[in-house]
Amino acid sequence: MNLFRNHLWFYIFIISFVFASFGNAQEFRLRAHHVYWKNQEANTEREIDFGRSVSAKILGKYPIMRNEQKVRYISQIGTGISAQLGRPELRYYFGILDTDEVNAFAAPGGYIFVTKGALKLMRNEAQLAGVLAHELAHIDQKHIVLKLKLQSTDRSVTSGIAQVLGGASLSAKIAFERLNDLAFKMLMEEGLSKEDEADADQKALEMLISTGYDLQSYLDYLLSLKPYLEQGQAKVLSKTHPTIEFRYNNLREFIIKNNLEKFQGKNNEIRFKTNFAKL
C-alpha cells in the first residue's frame, strides 16, 4: 500500500499519458469542429444581417437598376464564379446601381453591386467577371469584418462577430448600427488597406483562371479606369483604392510568379455586348 502511495503520481502520469496518446484526439477534434461550426453558423447569420444593413445604405445612396434581364445576366456570371470558389454557406446577390459613377461594392454576407458607369466602361465578359471576382474575394476573405475587428479580443475559438453583435439589448443594437455606419463609410470614403485590395486582386485572378476567363482583360480594365480617376467620375473609387499603377504591377508580378502568361482565356465579348447594348 505504501509502495502504491509512494508512486501514485507516477501511475497517474502513466495513465494520463496512455489516455492522451490512445485516446480521444480524433473524437476531441470532431467535437471541437462541431463547436467551431456552430459558432461559424451564428457568425455567418450575423454577418449576413450586418451586410444586409450595409447594402440597404448603399441602395439608399444609389438607386438600383430594376432591369431583370441585365441583373439576371450579371448574377449568372457572379453566381457561376461563387458556386465554384465562393463560400458555400452563403447566397450571393448581384445588383446594378443606376449611376454614372465608376465603382463596385461588396457588403459582407454576399451582397455585390456594380455601377452602370463601370459596366459602360467594360468591353467584355472577362472584365465583368474580374470585377465581380474582386468583390467576391473581399467577402470570402472577410476584409471588412476583420478590419472592423468584429471579433472579441481573445481570438478564442468561441468568439466572433456573433458575440460582438449578437446581443438583444438596445445598447448592442446601437453598437450594431454604429459599426454598420463605419462599414458603410469604409466603402464610401476610407477604403480598405492596400494589402487587402492587392489580395482581392490576386484572388480575383485566381478565380478567373479556374473559370477560364482571360486575365489580360481584367488588367486592361484597370488601365481603362485611369482617365476616370483623373476626371473625378470615379472619385469614390480613387479615394478607396490604391493607385492603378500599384494594382497593375501587383498583378503583373503575380502573373509572372505563377507562370500564367501563356494562359489564353475566353472573353465572351459578343454575349456581353448583346446584354449591355443599351445602358
Gap between the Cα atoms of 163 and 150, Å rounded: 9
- Which residues are within 8 A (CB) of 101 and not within 5 positions of it... i.e. 6 or more apart? 62, 115, 117, 233, 234, 235, 236, 237
Which among 223, 206, 198, 216 is positioned nearest to 265, based on CA atoms? Answer: 216
Question: C-beta of 225: minimal distance to another protein in Å?
Answer: 24
Binding of another protein by 159 (CB under 8 A) = no
Residue 100 CB partners (closer than 8 Å, separation 6+): 115, 116, 117, 120, 233
Site for another protein in 86-115 (CB under 8 A): 86-93, 95
179 close to 144: Cβ distance less than 8 angstroms? no
Give the count of residues interacting with another protein (CB under 8 A).
87
Q: How far is the CB of 117 from another protein (least distance, A)?
A: 18
95 sits in which H/E element: strand 93-97
The SS3 of residue 93 is: strand
Q: Does 232 participate in binding another protein (rule CB under 8 A)?
A: no
State yes or no: residue 270 binds another protein (CB under 8 A). yes
Piece in contact with another protein (CB under 8 A), picked from 148-156, 178-186, 193-201, 245-253:
178-186
Using CB under 8 A as the binding rule, whether residue 257 contacts another protein is answered as yes
**What are the residues whose beta carbons fall under 8 Å from the beta carbon of 242, sequence distance 6 or more?**
194, 197, 198
Give the Cα separation of 112 and 95 in Å (integer).
6
CA separation for the pair 110, 136 (Å, rounded): 8
Residue range at the interface with another protein (CB under 8 A); choices 142-150, 175-183, 190-198, 235-243: 175-183
| Radius of gyration of the CA atoms of the chain, in A | 24
Give residues 5-24 in contact with another protein (rule: CB under 8 A): 9-10, 12-13, 16-17, 19-21, 23-24
**Binding of another protein at residue 252 (CB under 8 A)?**
no
- To another protein, the closest distance from the beta carbon of 250 in angstroms equals 15
Shortest approach of another protein to residue 56 CB, angstroms?
4
Asked if 60 is part of the footprint of another protein (rule: CB under 8 A), the reply reads: yes
Q: Does 241 bind another protein (CB under 8 A)?
A: no
Span of 83-91, 144-152, 223-231, 242-250 interacting with another protein by CB under 8 A: 83-91
Q: Which is nearer to another protein, 63 or 227 (CB)?
A: 63
Q: In terms of C-beta density within 10 A (0-12 exposed, 13-18 middle, 19 or more buried), how is residue 234 classed?
A: buried
| Sole binder of another protein in the list 38, 156, 181, 239 (CB under 8 A) | 181
Q: Of the two residues 107 and 225, which places its CB atom closer to another protein in the complex?
A: 107
Output the nine-digit C-alpha cell for 66. Answer: 430594376
Q: Which of residues 188-217 bind another protein (CB under 8 A)?
A: 203, 206-207, 209-212
Instruction: Return the residue of 43, 55, 127, 217 that touches another protein, per CB under 8 A.
Output: 55
Kindly report the number of other CB atoms within 10 A of residue 39's CB atom.
18
